[in-house]
Amino acid sequence: MMPKHLCCGLAASAIFLASGAQAVAPFGATPQEKAMCDSTIGELRERAAALTGTKPDMFHLHHYCDCLRFRQRAMTSMRNRNDYRYNLQEAVGGCDYVLNHTGKDHGLRAMVHVDKGRALKLLGDSTAAARNFVQAVQLEPRIPEPHYELALLLRDRGDKAGALEAATLGLKYNAGIKPLDRLYFELGGKQPLPKPEAATPAQSTPVENPAATPATALRALSASGATAPAATAPAAVPAAGKDTLVTGSTSRQSGTAVVNGTRGRVIGN
């Protein structure tokens, strides 16, 4: 006959495991998640095509969908610490897969870094998050999301000067972005707004441009043990339209988006 304390212990364990199994949703994407991914990734591909002249291929982007949808799941599982962390780790893993299996010329690579950074920030790793936002700026400074997310992160870390530097640089490459405008003034920015960089014809691939990164952010990453890239002269890039939209995981401010005449919407949460 099984000892009573062992019997009770096994029963309790079974109940715990059953409740834990029910807490984690099935790995596969729900119809709603598939629709969200199709919409988001489709619009990002259109924006990339408007900037570079080439629409990014779809190879490996189902893993980018994993990154997007698991971060979304995390936001609905915040009361369950284990589920929250699991979902964010899956989000990071999805982004990592894309980064490990695509080249630096892939048109969505910068946004994959942004979404990896958003997940890392929610996990509490602000240094790794900042590193990904910096890499996104270096790869493609003509999109507003990495500038905006980096400015928010530096602000939250108490580096108001660095945050203002990030927002200022973001406006130089993305003129007229309302959330960046608001953040710029919130951080102490003054009129007139930063002068946009000179426009150049659309390029076939994103520009890897280490100098298009706030020096304060690079110094902070270097001090924390991260590797800072060597600086090079910034490349001239086209300014975005005056009514551009950016929505990030840490803000619900938004406007509307026009990039080189193509209307798009980027969802960050």
Quick one: pLDDT at residue 179?
A: 93
Higher pLDDT pick, 19 / 40: 40
Quick one: pLDDT at residue 63?
A: 93
| Residues in a beta bridge with 154 | none
Question: What residue ranges in 68-159 does DSSP mark as E strands?
Answer: none
20 — pLDDT class (breaks 50, 70, 90): very low
Q: CATH number of the domain at 29-263, out of 3.40.50.2300, 1.10.3720.10, 3.30.350.10, 1.25.40.10? A: 1.25.40.10
Number of H helices, E strands in the chain: 10, 2
Shortest CA distance to 231 belongs to which of 209, 204, 254? 209
Per-residue DSSP letter, 177: B
Q: Tens digit of pLDDT for each residue in 188-235?
A: 999 998 888 754 444 445 556 666 777 777 666 655 554 433 323 223
Q: Tens digit of pLDDT for each residue in 26-56?
A: 888 888 999 999 999 999 999 999 998 888 8
Quick one: pLDDT at residue 218?
A: 67
Instruction: Show me where the domains of the chain are located.
Output: 29-263
Quick one: pLDDT at residue 250?
A: 36
Q: Tens digit of pLDDT for each residue in 119-163?
A: 999 999 999 999 999 999 999 999 999 999 999 999 999 999 999
pLDDT of 248 above 70: no
Shortest CA distance to 245 belongs to which of 235, 237, 253? 253
Quick one: pLDDT at residue 23?
A: 54
Q: Rounded to whole angstroms, how far apart are CA atoms 131 and 151? A: 13
Q: Rounded to whole angstroms, how far apart are CA atoms 42 and 265? A: 10
